[in-house]
A = this chain, B = another copy of it.
Amino acid sequence: MGRLPAKTASPGLATKLDRGVLPTLLGYVLRRAQSAVFANFASTFATAGAALTPGEFGLMVLVERNIGLSQMALARALGIDRSTLVPILDRLQARGLLVRRHSPTDGRTHALALTPSGGKALARFTRLVGAHEKRIASSLSTAEIRTLIRLLEKVRADARSV
């Protein structure tokens, strides 16, 4: 792919382009970092021959740690609509990683759980995520990572409180 300046004739962009205020905007920087991290996650899993999105990983962890979770509770924990969750669970269930059991106490709800195969897969996924985490913070000290996480939590709280 043409990575060289390529002598862009007119709308002069051989020269670096001007991003104006964008690099000083937290929202902009956050979005770009998130996008790069997402791409890294995808490539980490693709390289390992596994297919999983960050959202699916979070979902599986939540289901494993909270056996019998209902779809409503899970949707709330994930911050998405319950109707959005349905096709995601369908896919995970079709892959044999997760099951919707009948709740013995409430006929409306499903009791979610990982299958044995799902549990084993999650263990593997967790190792991959560990490697991914190391990569995306390879130039940060552990103190910096702690600081970053702390500041991000504050931003999240600030953003939500309006």
Q: List chain A positions with a Cβ less than 8 A from chain B.
A: 8-13, 17-41, 43-44, 54-55, 58, 61-62, 64-70, 73, 77, 79, 103-106, 109, 111-112, 126, 129, 132-133, 135-140, 144-145, 147-149, 151-160, 162
Residue from A32, A34, A44 with most neighbouring chain B CB atoms (10 Å): A34
Contact assessment for B136 and A158 in the assembled complex, using a CB-CB cutoff below 8 Å: yes
Question: Per DSSP, are chain A's interface residues mostly helix, strand or loop, or mixed?
Answer: helix
Contact assessment for B10 and A27 in the assembled complex, using a CB-CB cutoff below 8 Å: no
Contact assessment for B105 and A33 in the assembled complex, using a CB-CB cutoff below 8 Å: no
The 10 closest A-B pairs by CB, nearest first: A10-B105, A11-B68, A36-B159, A18-B65, A40-B159, A33-B152, A34-B34, A136-B159, A33-B156, A13-B73
